[in-house]
Chains A and B, each alone.
Chain A
Amino acid sequence: EAGVAQSPRYKIIEKRQSVAFWCNPISGHATLYWYQQILGQGPKLLIQFQNNGVVDDSQLPKDRFSAERLKGVDSTLKIQPAKLEDSAVYLCASGPGPNYGYTFGSGTRLTVV
């Protein structure tokens, strides 16, 4: 079974620039998450999709972050404009839900300079 694919693996941008991350979940997984993980901390949920609908985006900074899930499969997360404090690893995970586990992608490490 293929895992969760994320790209790019690394990205360095200047503040105020825009950036986009891509995630391809495991086939058939209805639930997709985007997490932000700052060094030394646990993952922080940004947005959760169930199929192509948003379940929870309460912690997504909507003035600069946006996300969509195309046809309930792939998802993109965008930051525009980026701030220094956005430097983090952005993790995508998918799953069938509770009791069945979740699979994470390798993450995208973003550095804003």
Chain B
Amino acid sequence: SQELEQSPQSLIVQEGKNLTINCTSSKTLYGLYWYKQKYGEGLIFLMMLQKGGEEKSHEKITAKLDEKKQQSSLHITASQPSHAGIYLCGADSSNYQLIWGAGTKLIIKP
């Protein structure tokens, strides 16, 4: 079965600094989603990547899917307190199922 591994598990970053979160799949990714979650709340959709080498940006967040479609990275530039939360990557599996990484907890230090 396909698995998603996220790294790091948690991250503490000084406000204004850049950071990167990685998501690695055990199998080829056919649809990779990045979501953000505030503690105890629902998931907010950030971006979806499908094609090898694809890169998308929204405000200060950029997500990339590598050419082999087995790894994705999420990069935040000039981090702000509003970026704090849990970042989850999800992928389409068979039977329309979504599988998930365990999440990366991001803390922004003022």
The answer to whether B103 and A98 touch across the interface, beta carbons within 8 angstroms, is no
Place the interface of chain A in its size category.
20 to 34
Contacts of B98 in A (CB 8 A): 33, 45, 93, 102
Besides A50-B96, A106-B42, 16 other A-B contacts (C-beta < 8 A): A4-B42, A40-B102, A43-B88, A48-B97, A55-B96, A56-B95, A56-B97, A89-B40, A93-B43, A98-B31, A101-B33, A101-B45, A101-B48, A102-B45, A107-B41, A109-B40
Give B contacts to A, CB under 8 Å: 30-31, 33, 35, 40-45, 48, 50, 88, 90, 92, 95-98, 100-103, 105
Give A contacts to B, CB under 8 Å: 4, 6, 31, 33, 39-43, 45, 48, 50, 55-56, 89, 91, 93, 97-99, 101-107, 109
